[in-house]
Chains A and B, each alone.
Chain A
Amino acid sequence: MLDILYFANFREVLGQGQEQLPSDNFKTVDCVLNALGERGEQWKMALVENQNLQIAVNHNVATRTTAVKPGDEIAFFPPVTGG
């Protein structure tokens, strides 16, 4: 399984903070994104087509081409605004 996390306005727009996905067919973050995008326009806009999408895999900054494996924690979030 993969643990998927959503933060800030993503969590609100997508209506959930975390979920698990079966990891079988996902080789990269991009594969995960495309699968999530299949859920509808909301998902496609927030994640797949979002130019400002930020990604982390296992707490490290990642990109769409980052490889994923079973047990990974993948987080999607908007640009950070702390401080």
Chain B
Amino acid sequence: MTKENPYPYIRVQKEDFDLSTEVKQLRAGHKDIGAVVSFVGTVRDINEGDDISVLELEHYPGMTEKALEKIRQKAHNRWPLQSSLIIHRIGEMKPCDQIVLVAVTSKHREAAFNAAHYIMDYLKTNAPFWKKETFPDGATRWVDARVSDKEAESRWNV
């Protein structure tokens, strides 16, 4: 018997994802949804002025899923949402690859816009993921946390 996933709306995976498939599943069975907002984060080819050839995502298995679910629940407590989904990829990625998906549905657009924004801001500063860049010459660098991400989180006043 397979163990049931305790966090069905959280996925931490190596595989890529398809936005339209995920949104379709998220909307399934909810006839009262009037708004769907999704955010997809992707890998840039330049960071801090340097060319990036590979971006590697490390995470803390167990804590990551728990932290993401906590963020998702906070959003549901704050806005009237019908459903939400967070997918975050791990492992090696290349420029233009998708890294993260946040999708939120609600009856009206304001809740969905706000909740998607909130989840992303919180994910950036609270979920245990770390990025490591590889340059074309093979050298590597761990990405530093940005002050602007901490400021983005604080705008939500929690």
The DSSP consensus for interface residues of chain B is mixed
Q: Give the docked Cα–Cα distance between A77 and B142 (Å).
A: 12
The DSSP consensus for interface residues of chain A is loop
Residues of B within 8 A of A (CB-CB), count: 28
* Residue A15 lies at the interface, judged by CB distance under 8 Å to chain B: no
Contact count A vs B, C-beta below 8 Å: 70
Q: Across the interface, which residues of B come within 8 angstroms of A8, CB to CB? A: 58, 130, 132, 142
* Residue B33 lies at the interface, judged by CB distance under 8 Å to chain A: no
Residue with the greatest number of chain A CB neighbours at <10 A, chosen from B100, B127, B128, B131: B128
Residues of A within 8 A of B (CB-CB), count: 16
* Residue B46 lies at the interface, judged by CB distance under 8 Å to chain A: no
Q: Give the docked Cα–Cα distance between A83 and B124 (Å).
A: 5
- B contact residues vs A (CB 8 Å cutoff): 41, 57-60, 62-63, 66-67, 88, 99-100, 120, 123-132, 142-146
